[in-house]
Chain A
Amino acid sequence: MFPKGMPRNAGWWALLMPAFLLLTVFYVAPILQVLSISFTEPELGFGNYERILTNRSVQRTLMTTGRIAGITTVLALLLGYAVAYSVTMASERARRWWILCVLVPLWISVLVRAFAWVTLLRRQGLINDALMGAGVIQEPLELVWNEFGIIVGMVHYMVPYAVLPMLSTMREIDPRLMTAARGMGASRWVVFSRVFLPLSLPGVVAAAVLVFIFSLGFYVTPAILGGGKTLMVAEWISVQILDLIRWGFGTMMATVLVVTILVTLGGFSRVVNMRKLFGGGG
């Protein structure tokens, strides 16, 4: 089967190599370079990191990002929970339509979705037009190119990511538990709050972690719907690198972003089954 003298599993190890080498050379190496630049440019040391304590623009960006990511996570969880609950309780036929409602937006280009929101929310957009036409408002509302617009677009992007982990947890809940609770005289609210909700919590935590870390580093939607006025971390990094050519500063923020995400994931890896979250399979 194999040339003599080779270890028994050599063939299998060889199959691992193309992906491993591609990832090491063309993914891990450029990212490690980003991390190292943050310590070496413009000069060796922690100079770039000291700016976190002194630089107003850095602090404001971190605050804005944390606030928007936090609000987005809470809203996406609430809305996603309602959808996941509806899917779980739906009949087999209705369930297919529900899942389509979740999967189609998930895979539609993020640019198309941001564009759709611009069409709806801008000053001469469809919503302002409709409201002014109906005489509800005199002046157009400022719905986009501010934090409100960013959050509307980000929540829209994140709800499907919130639904999927919650749905997989909810579908593992034994429906007979709810039947039994009702049989023993529990009201609708008690069945939900004392039986269903606690059993679905692991899915809620997983969804929260997923949505939060995706929100932190999100670029496209905040850049389009924020109109350059409200900067989140990703857009701030891009401005530092492309416009101001301050590599040390930009890569410092990139490092902070990656470390925050890895620490968040690491912190929750005891609570959340990461392998399941990212569909590790096997």
Chain B
Amino acid sequence: MEGAYKPGWFARSTGLIVALYLVLPILIVLPVSLTDQRFLSLPRETLSLQYYRNLFSSPEWFSSILQSFWIALGSTTLAVVAGTLFAIAAWRLDRRLVNLMRALMLLPLIVPSIVYAIGLYRYFRWWDLLDRVLGVIIAHGVTAIPYVVITVSTALAAFDPRLEQAARGMGASLPQLLRWVILPRIMPGIVSGAIFAFIHSWDELVIVLFIASRDVFTLPRRIWDGINENVDPTMAAVAVLLVVFTVLLLLADLTVRKKRDS
């Protein structure tokens, strides 16, 4: 902003302090995970990897990680397919009824998950989907649809509709049109949506607390139990791995966006 005032010392230092408040508490789990003590604390004498060894040699943590991964993969697939098709059709049709349907798609972002979770707790008993991986995939997939609809709609906003008309004019069928004209153009939006849908399922706790009991024990549920029962530094090691994993996914998303913008 040439010629305008540069932000003063007050604005700059407040902004900086808030940024530290946002980032530092998350970073603190790294030194704690390397502690040589037997309880949650900073390392005293030396750095130790014992809690990472704990984590990787524990069959419970391993099976939870694996289960969360498959559930996230399944629900992401569900959300990406349904959400992408919906976003494309809604963009093409663009009329009142469709916009109402689009508003409906956003409900999972607005309604608190506790309300949905208690609803499913009853509803899934009737469908015999309680404590089943399939049930969790459906619940996470449905609640991830809005992320995909949003990112794909944003990508479509930059799509030139004349391309579609031209393809139609040359006799392309609907599947051909999707496969060869529309999908390649909006791929970055779809990938972004998939990444957010994956993180959503991977981190989701509230729904799982209600619809899972013995057989489905996802990673967030195990962390939740860990925090509520015995707070030992293995949790800090888990937290570090999760932070690293999320940051990697976000960097992947930034790369995709950069490609789209250039």
Contacts and interface: CB of A to CB of B under 8 A. Distances in A.
Interface stretch (A49-57, A134-142, A233-241): A233-241
B156 interface: yes
6 shortest interchain CB distances as A-B pairs: A217-B112, A86-B15, A281-B153, A30-B119, A19-B86, A15-B89
Nearest to B220: A111
Given A82-B18, A219-B114, A282-B87, 19 more contacts: A1-B174, A16-B98, A16-B101, A22-B82, A23-B107, A23-B142, A23-B145, A26-B138, A27-B116, A33-B123, A85-B15, A86-B16, A104-B250, A188-B8, A217-B115, A241-B118, A241-B121, A258-B112, A278-B150
Given A26-B139, A119-B40, A219-B112, A109 B220 contact: yes
A170 B123 CA distance: 44
Contacts of A242: 210
A191 B5 contact: yes
A180 B157 CA distance: 34
B230 interface: no
Most chain B beta-carbon contacts within 10 A, residue among A13, A79, A101, A112: A112
Most chain A beta-carbon contacts within 10 A, residue among B12, B88, B92, B119: B119
A65 B12 CA distance: 33
Interface in B100-131: 101-102, 104-116, 118-124
Interface in B191-227: 199, 202-203, 205-206, 209-210, 220, 223-224, 227
Nearest to B4: A178
A36 to B, nearest CB: 10
Contact of B205 (A23, A79, A111, A113): A111
B154 interface: yes
B251 to A, nearest CB: 9
Interface in A76-109: 79-80, 82-83, 85-87, 89, 98, 101-105, 107-109
Contacts of A247: 122
B169 to A, nearest CB: 11
A210 to B, nearest CB: 10
Given A118-B231, A217-B112, A83 B25 contact: no
Contact of B28 (A120, A188, A254): A120
Nearest to B108: A27
Contacts of A160: 22
